[in-house]
Amino acid sequence: MGKLTTHILDLTCGKPAANVKIELKRLGESIMKEVYTNNDGRVDVPLLAGEELLSGEYVMEFHAGDYFANKYVYTVDQPFLTIVTVRFQLADPEAHYHIPLLLSPFGYQVYRGS
Domain 3-110 fold: Immunoglobulin-like (2.60.40)
91 by Cβ neighbours in 10 Å (0-12 / 13-18 / 19+) ranks as exposed
Among the listed residues 34, 47, 44, 38, the one whose alpha carbon sits nearest the alpha carbon of residue 98: 47
Q: For residues 4 and 48, is the Cβ–Cβ distance under 8 A?
A: yes
Question: What is the β-pairing status of strands 48-49 and 3-10?
Answer: antiparallel
- Name the pLDDT band for 80 (thresholds 50, 70, 90): confident
Average pLDDT over residues 91-98: 97
Name the least confident of 1-15, 16-30, 67-81: 67-81
Question: pLDDT by residue (tens digit) across 67-77?
Answer: 998 886 655 66
- For all residues of the chain together, what is the average pLDDT? 93
In the chain, what are the domain boundaries?
Answer: 3-110
